[in-house]
């Protein structure tokens, strides 16, 4: 029996309200055999669209509702959000059909609210152009691009109005899927040929030589492709690949990845070492390490050892042991909002302050594990200065035996979605003198 795609969208949005991650839920839906590829595309577009634009959608609904949003039943509010998204952002489905489908769905959820939903949506269609955004720049940007006000204020203070607006806009765009070729098993050109024969559209990354940008998956999900099971590639953004390249691991070295899960950088380090030498991959729980183990097995790597280890706690057995140490620190994730839009609503300013303490503690412990003349690379997937450049500056003040090694003639690397068309990533390379 054909699945009701709108009902799946509603169920997914309800799950997200219960603090489930959008990307995880979409991955689960993709594995369902009862959903056709066309419906999957619709479901994914609407779910992501609603989450990315939720604050603006709520703002519009509020303009046409006689009932406060907090008083509207959560399921009914999600029906209004998904319908408003289609009316405002999509053109393929006529507005009248959007309203009819919303009313049908409402009747299945709670019949007595069908007139309420019908009235709001028809009023919205007639009067959408009358909706005005707040006059103040920070409030306008917050509503228009659905980012919390505290986040907008922080970025305005650092980056200014024009850059911040470009950044917010980029955060709401759908990023391409990026693959890292497992060059131990296949070269990039041969892998691209195989991917194209499976119906994918792809192009070479201009940033990293192992990277392949997928411009269209067709009707497939990435784990259905034979080359995935064969270990010929793994999913990893270009910015993340650059971290391992900056670490510059060599065959025969001893390297520590102190915060390894889910294993993208760990396996890339091993790959760049040509499976020679030793990579110690650590994380805080066995469950996290299981993710690394899955990737190691699929990519057929054999020079990685796994350790359950709390990076904030001193490990005497690691002292002065490693040629290079990677600290891909726990962070706010404000550089990957375009991939995980839930971050916008789940993080607070207090979270950043708490993370700063953790990051400094991990850096302090990591500094003890590097041989003299060895290298420490610090990276995050955020654009927040206090987690990045300011963190490194504070570290150097209390660790005078370290100095910065320039990256491409700059003292560090900060990537932005709106500038570099990658995830927002930070990386700094430090030498223990």
Q: Which residues are catalytic?
A: 381
Termini Cα distance of the chain: 67
Residue 398: CB atoms within 10 Å: 11
Q: Cα separation of 292 and 260, whole Å?
A: 7
Q: Cα separation of 3 and 1, whole Å?
A: 6
Nearest to 391 by CA among 412, 369, 422, 370: 412
Report the chain's C-alpha Rg in angstroms.
24
Residue 241: CB atoms within 10 Å: 24
Nearest to 298 by CA among 225, 213, 200, 205: 225
Helix (H) or strand (E) holding 151: helix 149-159
Contact 210, 180 (CB under 8 A): yes
Contacts of residue 26, defined as CB under 8 A and 6 or more positions apart, other chains included, come to 12, 43, 44, 47, 48
Nearest to 299 by CA among 186, 176, 177: 186
**Please, is 287 exposed, middle or buried when counting C-beta atoms within 10 Å of its C-beta (0-12, 13-18, 19+)?**
exposed
Written as six digits, the tokens of 86 are 């289609």
Q: Cα separation of 410 and 84, whole Å?
A: 45
**Please, is 221 exposed, middle or buried when counting C-beta atoms within 10 Å of its C-beta (0-12, 13-18, 19+)?**
middle
Written as six digits, the tokens of 51 are 């989450």
């Amino acid at each position: 029996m054909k699945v009701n795609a709108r009902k799946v969208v509603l169920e997914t949005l309800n799950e997200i309200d219960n603090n489930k991650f959008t990307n995880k839920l979409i991955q689960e839906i993709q594995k369902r055999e009862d959903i056709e590829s066309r419906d999957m595309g619709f479901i994914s577009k609407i779910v992501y669209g609603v989450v990315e634009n939720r604050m603006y959608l709520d703002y519009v609904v509020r303009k046409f509702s006689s009932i406060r949003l907090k008083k509207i039943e959560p399921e009914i509010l999600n029906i209004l959000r998904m319908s408003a998204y289609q009316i405002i952002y999509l053109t393929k489905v006529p507005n009248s059909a959007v309203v009819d489908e919303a009313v049908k769905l409402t009747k299945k959820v709670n019949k007595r609210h069908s007139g309420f939903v019908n009235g709001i949506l028809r009023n919205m269609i007639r009067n959408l152009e009358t909706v005005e955004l707040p006059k103040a720049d920070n409030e306008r940007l917050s509503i228009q691009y659905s980012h919390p006000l505290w986040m907008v204020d922080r970025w305005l203070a650092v980056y200014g109005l024009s850059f911040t607006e470009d950044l917010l806009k980029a955060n709401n765009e759908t990023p391409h899927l990026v693959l890292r070729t497992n060059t131990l098993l296949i070269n990039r050109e041969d892998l691209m040929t195989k991917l194209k024969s499976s119906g994918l559209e792809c192009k070479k990354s201009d940033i990293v030589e192992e990277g392949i940008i997928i411009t269209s998956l067709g009707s497939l999900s990435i784990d259905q492709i034979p080359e995935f099971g064969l270990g010929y590639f793994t999913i990893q953004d270009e910015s993340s690949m650059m971290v391992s390249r900056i670490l510059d691991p060599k065959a025969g070295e001893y390297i520590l990845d102190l915060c390894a899960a889910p294993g993208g950088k760990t396996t890339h380090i091993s790959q760049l070492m040509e499976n020679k030498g030793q990579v110690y991959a650590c994380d805080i729980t066995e469950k996290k390490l299981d993710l690394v183990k899955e990737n190691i097995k699929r990519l057929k790597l054999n020079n990685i050892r796994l350790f359950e280890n709390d990076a904030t706690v001193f490990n005497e057995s690691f002292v002065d042991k490693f040629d290079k140490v990677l600290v891909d620190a726990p962070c706010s994730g404000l550089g990957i909002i375009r991939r995980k839009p839930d971050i916008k609503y789940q993080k607070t300013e207090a979270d950043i302050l708490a993370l700063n303490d953790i990051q400094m503690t991990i850096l302090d412990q990591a500094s003890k594990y590097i041989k003299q003349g060895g290298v420490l690379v610090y990276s995050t997937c955020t654009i927040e200065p206090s987690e990045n450049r300011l963190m490194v500056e504070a570290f150097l003040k209390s660790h005078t035996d370290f100095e910065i090694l320039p990256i491409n003639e700059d003292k560090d690397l900060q990537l932005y979605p709106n500038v570099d068309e990658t995830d927002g990533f930070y990386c700094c390379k430090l030498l223990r003198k």
